[in-house]
Amino acid sequence: MKLMLHVSPGIVRYPLIASVILETSALVNIERASIDAVSGEIVLEVPAEKCNEVKEAFERRGVRVVPLEIPVVRDENECVHCGACVSICPTGTFHFDDWLVVADSGKCIQCGACVMGCPQRALKLVLK
């Protein structure tokens, strides 16, 4: 399960991920991170059986947590199955199946590369 963490000013300087790992004993994988001196956005892969425990631990520390259940949405009326998203996606979220582009949303890290690369503008990130 993927979780997006939104870290606000004031807590960005604390070892949030390390403290949650120590508290929950969850093995997490950082898939994408954008952090500066005042805020941050991090996408984590968390084992399904530890997901709620990890989510609650981050929320107790003041982190806004958004589960990424359907991170990217395709407008089927606009998609022409050109494959631009297949070639640009760094995680292999998109692939061809019988000449149609299909998505495995479980691989998506919401980097936005597919959205920027889609010539039809058929893809959108689900932001909460």
Model confidence band, residue 86 (pLDDT cutoffs 50, 70, 90): very high
For the chain, domain boundaries: 2-67, 72-125
Alpha helices in 31-112 (DSSP H): 51-60, 84-88
CATH of domain 2-67: 3.30.70.260
Q: Furthest-apart CA pair in the chain: how many Å?
A: 50
- Listed range (20-29, 106-115, 116-125) with the worst mean pLDDT: 106-115
Q: What is the pLDDT of residue 127?
A: 67
pTM: 0.74
User: Regarding the domain delimited by 72-125, which CATH topology (the fold level of the hierarchy) does it fall under?
Assistant: Alpha-Beta Plaits (3.30.70)
Q: What is the pLDDT of residue 123?
A: 95
- Whether 2-67 and 72-125 share one fold: the answer is yes
For residues 39 and 2, give the distance between their C-alpha atoms in angstroms, rounded to a whole number: 20
Stretch 53-82: mean pLDDT, rounded?
Answer: 92
Count of alpha carbons within 13 angstroms of residue 65, beta-carbon side: 23
